[in-house]
Amino acid sequence: MHKTQTLTRTAMGAVIIALCAWISIPAAVPFTLQTLGIFLVLTALGPRQGTGAILVYILLGLIGLPVFAGFSGGPGALIGPTGGYIVGFALIGFACLLTQWLPLPEPVRCTAGCLLGLAACYAFGTIWFIRVSAANGNVYSLPAVLAMCVVPFILPDCIKLVLALVIGRRLARALRPAGTVC
């Protein structure tokens, strides 16, 4: 694949994630379609380009572009209580990269990588939320944070993963030769 194609697809992946982030229902941790975007990009572009798109997305937000939920951006969004979940999106990509060497059928590998990465994202984001909140004078117990920031998202994120697998595999076939889908 040409470098121009790779850069274009990576940039488009970051745009897809940003568009999904803007579809949001405000809450302590906003309900967004970000994870749908993450899973879709990883499935359609593959783990390497998909992870690149996730990192570009996070970098765009870090430098201040309003790509996060609620049209937010900048370092404050990442160092705030929910910033760990955004940083944790990169863990989903890295988990997909790591699972590429498992001797499993392609869709199973991709699903396993996304689920493993999602668990890592939840864990990292939850620890981050507790630490940042405590530093700001708001002390939460682990069960309280899990009830607020993780449990309500598990089923919706699993549904988003299934949708992303179905849509992403079709997109992958349209974008690349057979045999290179996540």
pLDDT at 141 over 60: yes
Q: What angle do CA 140, 145, 147 make, to 5 degrees?
A: 135
Hey, what domains does the chain have and what are their CATH numbers?
Answer: 3-175 (1.10.1760.20)
pLDDT at 15 over 50: yes
Average pLDDT over residues 136-160: 95
116 token code pair: 């493993």
For β-strands 31-32 and 24-25, DSSP reports them as antiparallel
The DSSP symbol for 32 reads: E
- Which residue(s) pair with 25 in the sheet? 31
pLDDT at 176: 65
pLDDT at 84 over 60: yes
76 token code pair: 């404050």
pLDDT at 133: 96
Average pLDDT over residues 144-152: 95
Positive or negative, the CA dihedral 165, 170, 171, 177 is positive
Of 90, 95, 81, 92, nearest in space to 127 by CA: 81
Report the mean per-residue pLDDT for the chain: 92
CA distance 171 to 32: 22
CA distance 78 to 13: 20
Average pLDDT over residues 102-107: 86
pLDDT at 31 over 90: no
pLDDT at 168: 92
**Cα Rg, the chain, nearest whole Å:** 16
| pLDDT over 90, % of the chain | 78
Contacts of 63 (CB under 8 A, 6+ apart): 73, 74
Of 24, 112, 9, 23, nearest in space to 54 by CA: 9
- Which residue(s) pair with 62 in the sheet? none
**Would you place residue 179 in the very low, low, confident or very high pLDDT band (cuts 50, 70, 90)?**
very low
Average pLDDT over residues 53-76: 96
pLDDT at 181 over 70: no
Q: What angle do CA 179, 180, 182 make, to 5 degrees?
A: 115
pLDDT at 177: 53
Rounded to the nearest 5°, which phi and psi values hold at 24? Answer: -140, 145
34 token code pair: 């970000």
**Would you place residue 40 in the very low, low, confident or very high pLDDT band (cuts 50, 70, 90)?**
very high
